[in-house]
Amino acid sequence: MTAFPTAFPNLSAELTKSLSSLWTRYAGERPTNVRTEIRGNVVTCQMIDAVGDFNKRMIAPQSGMIAPQSGDTVAGVGKPTLAQYKRDAVATVVGLTRQRVTSFMSSHDRDTDVATEIFTLEPSLRKGRPRSLRSGSARRLPLET
């Protein structure tokens, strides 16, 4: 697994800032609190007091349902869709971590007004354990005779 916090101490802060800005672009209002945690290849971002505003902007006025996810905008309205938000969120994480996202789950709890975005990153061969620490590749010192 990749150890981002030691290799990139500001990555969590950069992800928080970028995902919060992206959310604000789609919701129209900034969440009151945003925090991002990186554990191995999993990035989790929680946004507090965020779901209500986001849902208002994503709901098609004529249907009362969340806008269709097939296109980039609701037909005739020009509003961004949930599908576009997801593409932008994944692109943001890929751009900052420089790793592909293998899965993305977005959970919006209306009761607590908390949005949780979870990204699973593809393991990177270059960002794993150093070669000197990998099993079987450590140099052996000759035995003293």
Whether residue 61 lies inside any domain: the answer is yes
Whether residue 145 lies inside any domain: the answer is no
Whether residue 93 lies inside any domain: the answer is yes
Domain with 42 in it: what CATH number?
3.30.980
Whether residue 18 lies inside any domain: the answer is yes
Whether residue 135 lies inside any domain: the answer is no
Whether residue 83 lies inside any domain: the answer is yes
**What is the dihedral sign for C-alpha 47, 53, 54, 55?**
positive
Number of domains in the chain: 1
> What's the predicted TM-score (pTM) here?
0.70
Q: Domain span at residue 93?
A: 4-124
Whether residue 130 lies inside any domain: the answer is no
Whether residue 38 lies inside any domain: the answer is yes
pLDDT at position 81 is 85
Reading the chain (145 residues) residue by residue, the pLDDT tens digits are 444 444 556 899 999 999 999 999 999 999 999 999 999 999 999 999 989 989 888 775 544 445 444 455 545 456 678 899 999 999 999 999 999 999 999 999 999 999 999 999 998 765 554 444 445 544 444 555 5
